[in-house]
């Protein structure tokens, strides 16, 4: 596997860092999650469990002097540290990048934060919706004359956060093969959200693709303003997704809907899009989703049913793992597929309990049973009672 032999310490956090660690693990890295000592079930525990498959967990109090020493020992044999905290948190613990790179010059220190460490927002808390709002991106995400709607927390947390950070880490690892030196990967979700949306900013004064500057959201080609790039409700209160932008796909859309092209406005007449939308809405409402799916399966129109997750797993099994683990929902397969990368055929590793591998990890790093017992007695570490160790 591409990242086999790379060792990662992931400090437990909410969605972005666990997803970044998941990507690295999926491509072969050995990921050890540094969990806090458990204090009861929390939202964070549920998040890290959902993104924890194949990782190992050590529960460690890094704020304590003894825990600090354990952490530094772990650092000595790892390639990457993944840190999800606000600016200054790790520095207060003397575990910031300056200290760790001095201790381990080849270390890749990945900081995954909302705003970074060198601007007026650095010390403020935030979530996905906030990072989108301050970047200007959230203002583009709405239907016409409605309030902005965040796309759950996929855009900043996962795309601009976990995914971009993983790319930054792999880039830094590649550069290390040439320089022999580690470095800091400073991944900021507010800036990352803007970066992955560069297309929207860069087309603001060109084609009517986006909804920036003076353009009204929900009136443009790709933001539901266009009647042949939108979703439509069917007779059974389900939906069909229509993306018939190119002329040949638009012609197939009209054919599938059974409409007379000559009686309709031209699709390039933007001022008459409302007429097309009304006709499409009325027509889609006349049949069920299954009916429309059967019709458009025979046409290349870029028209597809909006499936629920369980339906997607049944109808498109190539997207998901065949799983036999402790998670009830379908798990998407690792992407992209590398032709020379032997990825596992199924997701068979369970997500670790907090502290499940504490003892084995410490043994691996040279701690004796007596030293581990002392750390446990002093409440520096925690070993899950449900572990087989």
Active site residue 127: yes
CB-based contact 269:247 (threshold 8 Å): no
**H-run or E-run covering 188:** strand 183-188
Per-residue pLDDT at 317 exceeds 90 = no
Give the whole-number percent of the chain exceeding pLDDT 90: 68
Band (pLDDT 50/70/90 cuts) for residue 285 is very high
Beta bridge partners of 187: 112
pLDDT at residue 346 tops 50: no
Q: What is the mean pLDDT of the chain?
A: 89
Assess contact for 140 and 1: CB atoms under 8 A.
Answer: no
Is residue 68 part of the annotated active site? The answer reads no
Q: In the structure encoding, which two tokens stand for residue 319, read together?
A: 């997207």
270 neighbors 208 (Cβ within 8 angstroms)? yes
Residue 347 in this model has a pLDDT that exceeds 60: no
Residue with tokens 């959902």: 50
As a whole number, mean pLDDT of residues 324-341 equals 76
State how far the Cα of 186 lies from the Cα of 368, in Å rounded to an integer.
36
Q: Given 127, 291, 349, 363, which residue is catalytic?
A: 127
Position 374 scores a pLDDT of 96
Confidence of residue 44 (pLDDT cuts 50, 70, 90): low
129 band by pLDDT with thresholds 50, 70 and 90? very high
Does 320 have pLDDT greater than 50?
yes
Percent of the chain with pLDDT over 70: 89
Query: What is the structure's pLDDT at 213?
Result: 47
The whole-angstrom separation of Cα 122 and Cα 120 is: 6
- Summarised one tens digit per residue, pLDDT across range 272-283 is 999 999 999 999
Range name among 57-66, 85-94, 202-211 with the lowest pLDDT average: 202-211
Which position among 35, 79, 157, 186 bears the catalytic label? Answer: 157
Best CA proximity match to 108, nearest among 166, 40, 42: 166
Given a cut of 90, whether residue 80 has pLDDT beyond it is: yes
**pLDDT higher than 80, residue 387:** no
CA 299 to chain centre: 33
pLDDT band at 209 (very low <50, low <70, confident <90, very high): low
Give 143-179 pLDDT, tens digit per residue.
999 999 999 999 999 999 999 999 999 999 999 999 9
Q: Which residues contact 282 (CB under 8 A, 6 or more apart)?
A: none
> Given this model, what pLDDT does residue 104 score?
95
What is each CA distance from 381 to 348, 354, 361, in whole angstroms? 27, 11, 11
**Please, which residues bridge with residue 242 across strands?**
230, 303
Whether 138 has a pLDDT exceeding 50, the answer reads yes
């Amino acid at each position: 596997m591409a990242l086999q032999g790379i060792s990662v310490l992931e400090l437990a956090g909410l969605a972005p860092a666990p997803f970044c660690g998941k990507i690295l693990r999926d491509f072969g890295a050995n990921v050890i999650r540094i969990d806090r000592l458990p204090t009861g079930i929390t939202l964070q525990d549920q998040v890290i469990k959902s993104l924890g498959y194949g990782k190992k967990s050590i529960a460690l109090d890094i704020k304590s002097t003894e825990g600090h020493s354990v952490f530094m020992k772990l650092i000595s044999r790892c390639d990457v540290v993944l840190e999800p905290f606000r600016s200054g948190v790790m520095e207060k613990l003397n575990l910031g990048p300056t200290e760790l790179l001095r201790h381990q010059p080849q270390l890749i220190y990945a900081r995954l934060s909302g705003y970074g460490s060198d601007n007026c927002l650095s010390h403020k808390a935030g979530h996905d919706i906030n990072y989108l709002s301050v970047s200007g991106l959230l203002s583009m995400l709405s239907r016409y004359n409605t309030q902005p709607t965040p796309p759950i927390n996929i855009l900043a947390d996962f795309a601009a956060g976990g995914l971009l950070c993983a790319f930054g880490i792999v880039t830094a690892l590649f550069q290390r093969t040439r320089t022999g030196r580690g470095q800091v990967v400073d991944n900021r979700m507010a800036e990352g959200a803007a970066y992955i949306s560069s297309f929207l900013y860069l087309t603001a004064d060109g084609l009517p693709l986006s909804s920036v500057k003076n353009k009204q959201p929900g009136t443009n080609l790709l933001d539901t303003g266009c009647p042949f790039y939108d979703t439509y409700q069917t007779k059974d209160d389900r939906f069909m997704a229509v993306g018939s932008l190119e002329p040949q796909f638009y012609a197939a859309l009209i054919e599938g809907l059974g409409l007379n092209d000559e009686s309709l406005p031209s699709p390039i007449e933007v001022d008459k899009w409302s007429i097309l939308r009304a006709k499409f809405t009325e027509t889609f409402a006349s049949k069920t989703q299954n009916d429309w799916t059967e019709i458009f399966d025979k046409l290349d129109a870029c028209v597809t049913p909006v499936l629920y997750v369980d339906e997607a797993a049944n109808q498109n099994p190539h997207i998901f793992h065949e799983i036999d683990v402790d998670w009830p929902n379908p798990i998407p397969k690792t992407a992209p597929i590398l032709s020379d990368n032997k990825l596992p055929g199924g997701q068979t590793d369970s997500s670790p309990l907090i502290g499940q591998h504490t003892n084995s990890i410490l043994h691996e790093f040279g701690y004796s049973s007596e030293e581990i017992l002392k750390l446990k007695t002093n409440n520096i570490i925690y070993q899950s009672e449900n572990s087989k160790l």
